[in-house]
Amino acid sequence: MNGVHDLGGTDGLGPVIVEDDEPVWHAEWEKAAFALFATNFRAGLFNVDMFRHGIEQMHPAHYLLSPYYEHWMHTAEHYAVKAGVIDPAELDAKTKYYLDHPDEPLPDRTDPDLLAFVDAAVRGGAPARRESDEAPAFQVGDRVTVTQDSPREHTRKARYIRGKTGVIENAHGTFIYPDSAGNGRGDDPKHVYTVKFTNAELWGPDNAEPNGVVYFDVWEPYLVPATGAAT
């Protein structure tokens, strides 16, 4: 989708605010928002691509102005409601209750299996690499162009690379395809390549910084063979 999250090349978003000695957590609630990614993934409420897509569906103004982990809270809420696991009215009522009674404790429950899962997930990861019999359509050194079309659903084909031509720098094998999995369909593994774009190709010769390139990782369906001479 052509969402606000697709920020590459957007101008005017202000200075970078670097905090000295930044803590891992800025508030207690951030810890719970962070944990939602692992716990709700385990519960089968989303995969990582759907998790991203839930964030992309925030209102653009809210997306830009809210603290980062509120994005995670938003997407977890989005899928929990969608799956019927929580009722939005109940969430609103409980929110009001905790707003009025911030010191009220959370329900007490222990779950040794969940605790073991957390440690195993951090250590073992959740690989996105998937086997596929599909032969790669491109190889390192090929000149390729990113297709221009604008999917309305989840995609990782950022706007700033659409229609641009580059050279394949690396071929990585097959991975889960976010344009499928992120939209609630199957893994549908596709080949992933790193494509090198010159700054001039991305921003035009008059606006590009000299002596620079951008590498962008793409799934094979985003690409077609380049036509015409190299620039």
Partner 1 sequence: MTRTEITPSPEVAAPRSEAEIAARMKALEALMIDKGIMTTEAVDRLAEIYENEVGPQLGAAVVAKAWTDPAFKQRLLADATEACATMGIGGLQGEDMVAVENTDTVHNVVVCTLCSCYPWPVLGLPPNWYKQPAYRSRIVREPRTMLREEFGYDVPESVEIRVWDSSAELRYMVLPARPAGTEDTSEAELAELVTRDAMIGVAPVRA
Taking CB under 8 A as the rule, which mask of x and - marks residues 134-173 in contact with partner 1? ------------------xxx-x-x-x-----------x-
List the one residue from 50, 79, 80, 165 that touches partner 1 (CB under 8 A): 80
Report, in Å, the least distance between residue 228 CB and partner 1. 24
Count, residues near partner 1 per rule CB under 8 A: 110
Polymer length of the chain: 231
Q: Kindly tell me which of 44 and 228 has the beta carbon lying closer to partner 1.
A: 44
Question: Cα–Cα distance between 226 and 170 in angstroms, integer?
Answer: 17
Residue 217 interacting with partner 1 (CB under 8 A): yes
Tell me which residue has tokens 């077609």: 224
List the one residue from 144, 146, 218, 223 that touches partner 1 (CB under 8 A): 218
CA torsion angle 152 155 159 165 (round to 10)? -120
Question: Cα–Cα distance between 137 and 130 in angstroms, integer?
Answer: 17
List the one residue from 46, 47, 76, 165 that touches partner 1 (CB under 8 A): 76
Report, in Å, the least distance between residue 169 CB and partner 1. 10
Using CB under 8 A as the binding rule, the residues of this chain from 172 to 191 that contact partner 1 are: 172, 175-176, 183
Question: Cα–Cα distance between 145 and 222 in angstroms, integer?
Answer: 8
Residue 7 interacting with partner 1 (CB under 8 A): yes
Q: Measuring CA to CA, how many Å separate 92 from each of 58, 98, 157?
A: 18, 10, 35
Report, in Å, the least distance between residue 143 CB and partner 1. 18
Tell me which residue has tokens 């951008």: 214
Backbone phi, psi, residue 6, to 5°: -85, 80
Using CB under 8 A as the binding rule, the residues of this chain from 32 to 61 that contact partner 1 are: 32-36, 38-40, 42-43, 45, 52-53, 55-61
Burial of 77 (0-12, 13-18, 19+ CB in 10 A): middle
Report, in Å, the least distance between residue 135 CB and partner 1. 19
Question: Cα–Cα distance between 117 and 190 in angstroms, integer?
Answer: 28
Q: Kindly tell me which of 142 and 227 has the beta carbon lying closer to partner 1.
A: 142
